[in-house]
Structure 1
Amino acid sequence: MKKIIMLCLGIMTAGLVLAGCGQQAKQAAPDAGKAGKIVVGLDDNYPPMGFRDENNNITGFDVDLAKEAAKRLKREVEFKPIDWSSKEAELKSGRVDVLWNGLDITEKRKENMLFSDPYMDNRQIVFVRNDSAIKTAADLKGKIVGTQSGSTGEENINKDAKLKSSLKEVKAYPDFIAAFMDLENGRIDAIVGDEITGRYYMSKHPDKFAARDIVIGDITSFGIGFAKDNQKLRDEVQKVLNEMKKDGTMAKISQKWFGKDITKK
């Protein structure tokens, strides 16, 4: 009888092990199907590079670029909105595979990530209300200036000790849309931000804002950010970007969003 009981227990144990393995296989299956997915981290309130349209779908120049790159790589792409001020942490943790959203290439950022070749130039300039008396950098003295938290604009203000000390206050916003809303309502006097994004926003509100040709910091270039240990993905994406430049696809996408080809050759 004891042998029979032991035999039954053995069979039951083996059944549980097999059931557990089967359950693990079921759980692993979805992950295996996602092996080729590229998760793109972006600020989804950053027109025209990446933002939500009237139907709440994520769209934009960089979004179209990423979709075309993923298509050529025969990989699925997922767009994941993130806190832009925590972008390096999101990339390092593996929660996103790339940062692809008007990301300026800077020496400081190169310490924490790999970059694609630059594909578009960008400047940090000053935006004001249409009736503003601010015309030069000197006119910013004693003013409240807004910018996006974690942006190149914020970095450039912080690096310019003379400029920063002359300002009454620097207000950092989660995105430039919020900054423009406060500018319109008179809560701040000016914005330091990406020329491309600012001019796009201005085009949607033509009678409210003006751009001043006051450049804060150096002219920079947009690039795609990858984790330091992900050289393989960086090279794969760069290869298809080169193809898109050569066959005119990148120029076509630029024409769609900017009315002309403003990408780097």
Structure 2
Amino acid sequence: MKKRTMMIKVTATALAGVMALGMLTACGGSSDAETTTATADTTASTASADAKKVKVGISAENKPYSYMNENEEYEGYEYAILCEVQNRIGDQYDMDIVMDEWTNLLVGIDTGNYAAAGGSFGYKEERAEKYSYSAVPILNASKFYIGYLKGRTDITDMESLAGKTVATTPGLLAETIVLDWNAAHPDEEILLEYPDGYETISAGIKNGLYDAYIASSIEMLNFNEQYDNFMDVSEDSVYESDNGGIYFLFSKNETDFQTAFDAALKEMKEDGTLGKLCEEWVGEDLTE
């Protein structure tokens, strides 16, 4: 898998709360900038001098969507999309991209720190009341499965999770799946824990602290591969979303920025760039 490099400008920025230090970057840069791997078809671009600055948050630990590699360089599908969008709207907007903890992303939109955020956000009606979804999903992942330590035979479906502990993240659709199950089956309650990041989740499943993890087929595959396929996965899906799209989210106060962003994203979908980026970073074109 060949990836070209882009020039970026990198500075440190203090992030109050969970992360002591975040990384702020723009998808264009000066001659003395560091390099980072980005996309197969994207070349470096610089926003015009009068372009409006906007800050966009993305998850720091969401491989293959957004993450920092071993050289502390930004990589990932969502990051590559942002860089390509920047190439197309640089006459209007200059995006600074901040890698942050997933739980900080929507808070950042709420507080006005971020104009938009990318964090593998699925569609939820209550979320749509607060934020605007990108006009085009960046991929579709409608079916959800249970992952559990390889060799276990006692986990097959939601009913088999009764009394067991599922690791998840607040706000994910997987959390909603469990909460909805508990509301409908009060005598078969599934316990929820909220560990910080894939590494903690994988360690907890391996040592028996957590029994299972619920995720879309794409996320489950990527998570499992990242940690040497330590999980078996349920044969049947436990949930199928009516809208399995993954989107960028925007502040409802950033209508002009979203209009420009959406136009670029639609163009990328139509000219095949989005599908190529998805194939490069996710492993196959899942944009349809």
> Which TM bucket (shorter chain)?
0.7 to 0.9
- Asked whether 1:193 is paired with 2:209, we answer no
CA 1:35 to 1:240, structure 2 compared with 1: closer, same or farther past 3 Å? closer
State the Cα deviation string for residues 181-221 of structure 1 (Å, max 9, x = none): 21122211101224322211212334411222332463521
Mapping for residues 135-174 of structure 1, pairs under 5 Å: 135-160=156-181, 161-162=183-184, 166-167=188-189, 169-174=191-196
- Asked whether 1:215 is paired with 2:238, we answer yes
Who is 2:252 aligned against? 228
C-alpha separation between the residues in 1 aligned to 2:78 and 2:216? 15
Report if the CA contact (8 A) 1:38-1:70 is conserved. no
Q: Secondary structure at the match of 1:37?
A: strand
Q: Secondary structure at the match of 1:126?
A: strand
Report if the CA contact (8 A) 2:60-2:101 is conserved. no
Report the AA paired with residue 153 of structure 1. Answer: A
Q: Secondary structure at the match of 1:108?
A: helix
Give the C-alpha shift of residue 167 in structure 1.
Answer: 3.8
Give the C-alpha shift of residue 177 in structure 1.
Answer: 3.6
- Asked whether 1:108 is paired with 2:126, we answer yes
- 5+ unaligned residues in a row in structure 1: which ranges? 1-32
C-alpha separation between the residues in 1 aligned to 2:187 and 2:270? 46
Q: Secondary structure at the match of 1:76?
A: strand
Mapping for residues 11-30 of structure 1, pairs under 5 Å: none
Who is 2:138 aligned against? 119
C-alpha separation between the residues in 1 aligned to 2:130 and 2:175? 18
From 8, 30, 38, give the equivalent of 2:54. 38
Who is 1:131 aligned against? 151
C-alpha separation between the residues in 1 aligned to 2:58 and 2:185? 29
State the Cα deviation string for residues 97-134 of structure 1 (Å, max 9, x = none): 11112111211111111111223222432111111211
Report the AA paired with residue 102 of structure 1. Answer: S
Per chain length, whose mean CA-contact separation is higher, i.e. which structure has more relative contact order (CA < 8 Å, sep 6+)? 1
Report if the CA contact (8 A) 1:39-1:98 is conserved. yes
- 5+ unaligned residues in a row in structure 2: which ranges? 1-48
From 99, 105, 130, give the equivalent of 1:81. 99
Report if the CA contact (8 A) 1:137-1:214 is conserved. no
Who is 1:29 aligned against? none
Report the AA paired with residue 180 of structure 2. Answer: K
Structure number with greater Rg is 1
User: What is the TM-score of this pair, normalised by structure 2?
Assistant: 0.73
Question: Aligned-pair RMSD on alpha carbons?
Answer: 2.3
Report if the CA contact (8 A) 1:199-1:211 is conserved. no
CA 1:164 to 1:211, structure 2 compared with 1: closer, same or farther past 3 Å? farther
Report the AA paired with residue 230 of structure 2. Answer: K
C-alpha separation between the residues in 1 aligned to 2:246 and 2:130? 16
C-alpha separation between the residues in 1 aligned to 2:263 and 2:157? 42
Poorly superposed stretches of 4+, deviation over 6 Å: none
C-alpha separation between the residues in 1 aligned to 2:125 and 2:187? 24
Who is 1:10 aligned against? none
CA 1:237 to 1:169, structure 2 compared with 1: closer, same or farther past 3 Å? same
Report the AA paired with residue 127 of structure 1. Answer: G
